[in-house]
Structure 1
Amino acid sequence: MGNQPSIFITGGARGIGLSIGKLFLEQGWKVGLYDIDAAELEKVRQELANENLLTGTLDVTNSDSAQVTLQQFAEATGGRLDVLVNNAGMVRVGEFEATPLADYQQMVTLNLAGPITMTYQALPWLKTTPNSRIVNVSSASAIYGNPELTVYAATKVAVRNLTEGWRLGFAKFGIHATAILPIYTRTRMVDDYVHLYQGLKLKDVTLTAEDVARVCW
């Protein structure tokens, strides 16, 4: 097993995932940033230009894609996987009936099946890495109902409960599972939809992706 700690991050091309990656790179970790957006990921790779950075295209809902990508990551880290961050996700904002049903179905698959698929495929390496961690990015919307975020909030409630089950079930392997529940955060995901939130103005969104990244550290 390699000596350098490593972290694997989904949804790593922007926002919270990218900020987590930057922070861990600064601390000398081997960092894997993975995303379905290959073009954006290439921009990140060129911008960061760090020998400890690994990048790759990944569909977190596809078990074969997850398995192959994790295998490649493990080969680069000497079989070590200290932290898995399940960050990839999507949101649709607005009145329930205003969003196409297909978008809701895609959201449920990505936000919930994604973490399940990634964690399932990552377990062999998490089990063999001492004191490994799973960090699931949930949301403050998992705590209370929101008429503009009904389905999104439901997926994040599921992620929160899934994490609690993993925390209890994986303890025997020495794996720690944690969910973080950020409120509105200054990322493109919020910027693109802020006009649809009733009573929310962009100037009032003060939490940054860097703030959330520090919680993961």
Structure 2
Amino acid sequence: MPEATGRQSIFITGAASGMGRETARLFQQQGWFIGAFDLNQAGLEALQAELGADNCLIGQLNVSDKIAYEQAINSFDAATGGLMDILFNNAGIAMRGFFDEIPFEEQMRLVQVNFVGVLNGIHTALPLLKATPNALCFTTSSSSATMGMPLIAVYSATKHAVKGLTEALSNEFRRHDIRVADVLPGLIRTGMPDDTMLAAASDTGAFRVIEAIEVAKVVWEAYQSDTLHWYVPEELAELDKAAGNNPERLRDKLARQL
């Protein structure tokens, strides 16, 4: 098993592709030890080959399975000597459609992965975070956590839950010297937005297509900061303000677009 051997360490879910993969690359380049976990074993093996077997611990993980999460954290614990500088709860799934046309079981799968998976991660990793000075608990929320978005209602609800949890724990965990923050990405070029969404995106504005590396850079910046919410791109912060100041106006604007 690879070992951190004194290096700072980050545990990343959804690490086989997209934002998680770019974050693993960036942190390894900065000399960190990487824990990369995902359901995609082939993607993990490709990442490990790129980063080097001594720099990266990989493992398959369904984040909605608490027992499997405990096993993953135990392996990371053994590799780092019980330390974790960053927990990056990044794994997530999405699906589009009208609420009343998506099977209930699929909606519950969204909840289990996108929110229960985050709870599993924080609960399980907390002893390592507590043992590490100035640790960071960081989670991928979404621009859809600024205002409930049509056609992704349950996805949007899970990301609102993540945002609220982040805000609450950012105060609670101060007593453990653990910082808590999240990122609210817009339209990121990953496997999640389909080709139709990417093709329809504007070249400018808050919902232009952003490369996944930009989210990875935010994770790096967040470790050096005490900022609570990170927006990618930054213009999304204005959407958050608009939703708080006049939700009816933003609701009606979304209705016209729908």
TM-score after normalising by structure 2: 0.78
Partner of 1:19: 22
Q: Does 1:201 align with 2:195?
A: no
Tell me the distance in 1 between the aligned counterparts of 2:156 and 2:8: 33
Match of 1:177 among 170, 177, 180: 180
- Residue deviations 1:41-97, cap 9 Å, x none? 222222333521111111211111111111111111122100000001100012223
**Which AA in structure 2 matches 1:186?**
R
Q: Greater shift after overlay, 51-60 or 128-137?
A: 51-60
Separation in 1, partners of 2:48, 2:142? 27
Match of 2:61 in 1: 58
How many Å apart are 1:200 and its aligned residue? 6.5
Letter in 1 for 2:18: G
Q: Are 1:146 and 2:145 counterparts?
A: no
Q: Which structure has the higher relative contact order (CA within 8 Å, separation 6+)?
A: 1
Q: Does 2:182 match 1:212?
A: no
Identify which of 79, 82, 86 aligns with 1:79: 82
Q: Is the contact made by 1:2 and 1:80 (CA closer than 8 Å) also made in structure 2? A: no
- Quote the offset at 1:208 in angstroms: 1.1
TM-score (norm 1): 0.92
Deviates more, 1:201-210 or 1:50-59: 201-210
Task: Give 1:42's match in structure 2, choosing from 45, 50, 56.
Answer: 45
Maintained 8 Å contact 2:28/2:51:
no
Please give the alpha-carbon distance, in whole angstroms, between the structure 2 residues aligned to 1:78 and 1:216: 23
How many residues are aligned here?
A: 213
CA distance in 1, matches of 2:125, 2:5: 17
Q: CA RMSD in A?
A: 1.8
1:201 aligned partner, one-letter code: A
The whole-number CA distance in structure 2 between the counterparts of 1:172 and 1:29 is 26
Question: CA 1:202 to 1:41, structure 2 compared with 1: closer, same or farther past 3 Å?
Answer: farther
Q: Distance in 1 between matches of 2:120 and 2:5?
A: 25
For 1:110, the equivalent position in structure 2 comes to: 113
- List structure 1 segments (4+ residues) > 3 angstroms apart after TM superposition: 202-205
For 2:47 and 2:156, locate their aligned partners in 1 and report how far apart those are by CA, in whole Å: 29
The corresponding residue for 1:68 is 71
Q: Does 1:189 align with 2:192?
A: yes
Higher mean C-alpha displacement, 7-16 vs 99-108? 99-108
Q: After the TM superposition, which of the residue ranges 118-127 and 204-213 deviates more from structure 2?
A: 204-213
* Structure whose alpha-carbon radius of gyration is higher: 2
Deviation at 1:145, TM superposition (A): 2.3
Q: What is the alpha-carbon distance in structure 1 between the residues aligned to residue 149 and residue 76 of structure 2?
A: 38
Between 148-157 and 199-208, report the one with greater CA deviation: 199-208
- Structure 1 regions of 5+ residues with no counterpart? none
> 1:91 pairs with 78, 89, 94, which one?
94
C-alpha contact 1:13 1:40 (8 A) present in aligned 2: yes
User: Are the counterparts in 1 of residues 83 and 128 from structure 2 also a CA contact under 8 Å?
Assistant: yes
Q: Distance in 1 between matches of 2:19 and 2:141?
A: 12
Match of 2:244 in 1: none
Query: 1:134-184 CA deviation, whole Å, 9 max, x = no partner?
Result: 001000100012112111100000000011111111110000000110111
Distance 1:45 1:119 in 2: 24
C-alpha contact (below 8 Å) 1:186/1:208 kept by paired residues: yes
TM-fit CA distance, 1:2 = 5.5
